[in-house]
Amino acid sequence: MKEVERLKKNREERRAKQAEIMEEKVALKNVDPGNPNWEFLSMIREYQEQVEYTPLQDGDAVVDHQVR
């Protein structure tokens, strides 16, 4: 009996987690409706949030990193 209850509890937790993931996916898709590449766009936006962006000022020294 305990095994059945444990399985039922696990199933309910798994279904709740899947429903939450689907809601997040729908919300991300609705950010830019009609864009077939919405998943790629959401990955780009997630990366942009993590990048530390500091624009150059007039007095900043120019460093040559030899990127070609």
The answer to whether 32 and 42 are in contact (CB under 8 A) is no
Q: What is the pLDDT of residue 12?
A: 95
Residue 52 CB-density burial (10 A; 0-12 exposed, 13-18 middle, 19+ buried): exposed
Q: What is the pLDDT of residue 30?
A: 78
Please report, for the chain, the start and end positions of each structural domain, with discontinuous segments joined by +: 2-47
Q: What is the pLDDT of residue 6?
A: 92
Successive 10-residue mean pLDDT values, the chain, 68 residues: 90 94 82 80 89 82 76
**Residue where the block lists tokens 């950010």:** 31
DSSP state of 58: T
pLDDT per residue over 26-42, tens digit each?
887 777 778 788 888 88
